Structure formats: C-alpha cells, structure tokens
Amino acid sequence: MRLRPRSSRAAWLAFVILGVASLGCDGRTAPPWRPPDVVMISIDTLRADHLPTYGYARPTAPHIDAWARQALVFDRAYSEAPHTLPSHASLFTGLYPSRHGVLERGDTLAPSVATIAEMLGGHRYRTAAFVNCYFLGPDARIMRGFTHFDADYGGTDLSAQRDAGTTNEAVFAWADGLVGDEPYFLFVLYFDLHSDWEGLPYHAPEPFRSRFVREPPETYRSGDGTLSATAYLSHLNQNRIRLDAEDLRYLRDLYDASIAYTDAQVGALLDGLDRRGRLRDAIVVVTADHGEEFQDHGKLPEMRGAPGPSCRGLETPTPGRTDALVQHVDVLPTLSECLGEPPPAGVQGQSFLGVFGGAPGPRTTAYFDTSLGYQRGVLRDGWKWLEDPPTGARQLYDLAADPRERRNLAKQDLERGAALAAELARHRAENEAARVASERVEVSPEVHEALEALGYLPASEEP
C-alpha cells in the first residue's frame, strides 16, 4: 500500500480546544458586559490521536493536555476538508467548502460572505492574525477583517517559513501594544507540523527531536546517502517508495517530535498572554485544519473545552468531556451567540454554545466536503461513509465497533452505504446550487511549483 499524495491530508477530524483563562461575567449579573477576548490557535496538520489528551501513549503535548484538563473536551468534532485553505475558510465563514468555494490557491472569498474577524471587528474588537502559510495569505481574502495581519512564510521559499517560537515573539510584540480594556481577537497559525517540502519536513528541533526520534531505517536516505526526510517524502509523493513498518515508525517519530515542539510553543503563547493579563476573560480555541496520513487514510479527532466562557446568558460550565458532534463551521455561530446576536445570514454551522451548559450538541450529521477530488464523506449515527472520486473507492466504518476504521464494510452493508451516499449527494447538490461566487486570481509559476512540492497539486486531474 502506498501513501498517496492526494490523500496525505485526508484526515477528517480536526482538533479543537475552546477554553478560557478565568470565569467570565454574565450579562445579567455583572454590568457593563464586556465581550470576551478570543484567542484562536490553528495547528496545521495535527492529528489528535497523537495527543495524550486523546490517549496517545507518548508525551507529545503536555501543555495542551494541561490546558484541556481545564476545559470541556469534545471527542467528536470534525473539520470539513482535508487541506488547509478550504478548511480554514470554513472555520472563518461557517460555510462548507462546496458553498464558500475557496478550495485552492487562486480562489477568493466572495465579498458577500462575512468572516469571523469582520463579525468581531464589528463589535469593536482589535483583530490580529499571525500566519506562516501562504494558503492563508491575503489573496484568498478569507483573512478579511483582520486589522493587524502578520504573514511570514518566506515567499515561495517554504524552507524559510517562520517557526512557532518566532511567531510567538511577533504575537507578544503586538500584545504589548494593546491598550486599555478593549476586547481582542487573535488568530495564530502554526505550520511546523506540515511535512513535505524541501528543508523542513516536520520542524522538530532539539531537544524535542532526541526525545522522540529513534534510529532511522536504512531506506530513509536520499540519493547522496544522507538522511533526509525531505527526499523521502518527495519520493513518497511520487509513489516511488513503499512504506514498511520501520519507515512509518520513523515518520511518526519525526511527527511526534514536531508536535512536542509546537505544543511547547502553544504553552509559551498562553503563558505569555497570561503574564500580560490578556487571558483573564478570553475564549481560547485550539484547532487543527486537518490531520496527517500515515497510511491509514487519516483520522483526527477534535476537541474543544471551556472552563468558563464569558458569554451572554451562559453560566459557568464544568470542565470535562463531551461527545457532542460539532464541526468547524459551528465555531462562527457559536461566537455570534456568545455576542448575543444571530449569525450572519446564510451561515450553515450551528452554535454549540449550549453544550457548555450541558445541552445536547446541535447536529446529528457531519459532512466532509471538498470539491478538489479529495475524499469526501458523511458521518451519521456513528457510521462514517467516505468516497474517493479519483479511484471510485467507497469506505464504510462503524465507529462504535471500529473506532480506528480498520474494517471497511462498504460491500457488506450496501443499504446503509447507499443511504449515506444519498445524504452526501443531497448535501453537495444543495451547496453547489447555492455556491457563493468566488473569483479566481492568477497564481504565479513559482507558487504553483511550491504547491506541487507540498503535494497539493500532484495529479493532472486537479485544476
């Protein structure tokens, strides 16, 4: 079995923590009500089953785990798309990819679609974004509404990309400039876990690398005999290497070391904001746009938690875990409800704010929805259906009996598969019919080449 580049991002479950640093005020009890600060951290390519919070045996993320213990953790939260741009576009707009239409570099968000930053900016939030991936550059316009936009990704030289620690320094410089008590919305994208480009195949500096990376297998060598994850992954993306157990172990070691590094930076970011007195009344969201594929078609649970959101009408929730089904599209309407207003017109997500007070989740069905030829699917009643358009493959999993998705039942339970396929087709047809018009912008040859190096444009059938 080969690791196919087109599915290398096919991890449908993202991971989210939603928490706050202190108990918030309720509009009914502590006038005048001040909107909560919002800190949103996106860790690109993080799969949650490599986190101790989700039972991973290796201590990859002690800081995130410590944070999660103060929070309400969501065990069933899913991203909508298996790659960076459409996934973040859904997070920021509350729309599914087949509705917002921002699927690949060159697509731009229609002016009629509101973003989280615009919504919060309308409530006089100071808004700032720090990103290290040009998928989230200004071209796509999904970052509309950020008055402070700090992007550093070395142009098309991805090896010059800013690491998480340097990103934090930029955030702190901005945070030191905050004055008074005005609320702020901070978005940070860490890109250190993204794998396959030259010079930076999982950013795993010491001491994290030594803690997790064991001896590499003999096959893990580039043409000149040096150890090179880059060369390896490059060959992998061209289907020139077959992975065996040792190969996979080494890749996972590198990945785990990168998680540990990023986790330390998440801890440093939260500590730094706390020291500045900027987490006292903040909702903190930590999420991933998609996971990573280690020859298992990708899976990545998502979690959210909140020890005490400062939201109108919400009492202090109890830390713990919930199995409420949620998706990234639900984040924007949740924040809208937190502000005491309806979500922008046309938003497809549903607020899960009530879950923090013990209410059931807002949805029974989750959709994995993209139009680039990647896998797509639907999850309902504990069953997950996946379609792979290029190959025509179909997969059906009983998540209760088979949480790691090892037994494909698509050929055993035809009736259930057909029902889920019909639901997915209905969802996609509805979205395509109402798809928001997006413009195309020119992509330079250099950027196109960089995207190919990342594994995003490996197949000729992709535009």
Among the residue ranges 47-55, 71-79, 111-119, 286-294, the one whose residues contact Zn ion (CB under 5 A)? 286-294
CB of 114 to Zn ion, least distance (A): 23
Alpha-carbon span 413 to 122, nearest angstrom: 49
∠ CA 69-72-77, rounded to 5°: 115
The encoded tokens of residue 255 equal 């990945």
The residue among 42 and 230 lying less far from Zn ion, judged by its C-beta, is: 42
Distance CA 93, CA 329 (A): 7
Minimum CB–partner distance for residue 14 and Zn ion (Å): 10
Give the contact letters, 289-308, x = binds to Zn ion (CB under 5 A), - = no.
x-------------------
- Pick between residue 44 and residue 107 the one whose CB is nearest to Zn ion: 44
Q: Total residues at the site for Zn ion (CB under 5 A)?
A: 3
| Residue whose CB is nearest to Zn ion in the complex, by number | 84
Q: Which CB atom, from 44 or from 387, has the smaller least distance to Zn ion?
A: 44
Instruction: Give 291 or 344: the residue with its C-beta nearer to Zn ion.
Output: 291
- Distances in Å between the Cα of 450 and the Cα atoms of 86, 118, 130, 158, 234 are 18, 30, 21, 8, 12
For 238, the token pair is 């061209």
Which one of 17-25, 78-86, 195-203, 210-218 is the stretch in contact with Zn ion (CB under 5 A)?
78-86
Bridge partner list, 440 = 107
Whether the CB-CB separation of 249 and 294 falls below 8 Å is answered with no
Closest distance to Zn ion from the beta carbon of 290 (Å) = 5
Contact call for residue 84 and Zn ion (CB under 5 A): yes
Q: Which is nearer to Zn ion, 278 or 376 (CB)?
A: 376
Q: Write down how long the chain is.
A: 463
Stretch that binds Zn ion, among 76-84, 112-120, 330-338, 439-447 (CB under 5 A): 76-84
Amino acid type, 437: A
Q: Which is nearer to Zn ion, 354 or 455 (CB)?
A: 455
Spatial CA neighbour of 348 closest among 338, 336, 340, 359: 336
Find the shortest distance in angstroms from Cβ 285 to Zn ion. Answer: 16
Helix/strand/coil for 295: coil
Contact residue for Zn ion among 44, 192, 196, 292 (CB under 5 A):
44
Pairing state between β 184-190 and 148-151: unpaired
Closer Cβ to Zn ion, 193 or 243, answer by number: 193
Least gap, CB of 83 to Zn ion (angstroms): 6
Q: Where are the alpha helices (DSSP H) in 32-181?
A: 62-68, 84-93, 97-100, 116-121, 164-175
The nearest distance, CB 45 to Zn ion, in angstroms, is: 5
Closest approach of Cβ 296 to Zn ion, in Å? 18
User: Please, which residues have CB within 8 angstroms of residue 167's CB and are 6 or more apart in sequence?
Assistant: 130, 132, 152, 188, 190, 265
Residues that bind Zn ion (CB under 5 A): 44, 84, 289
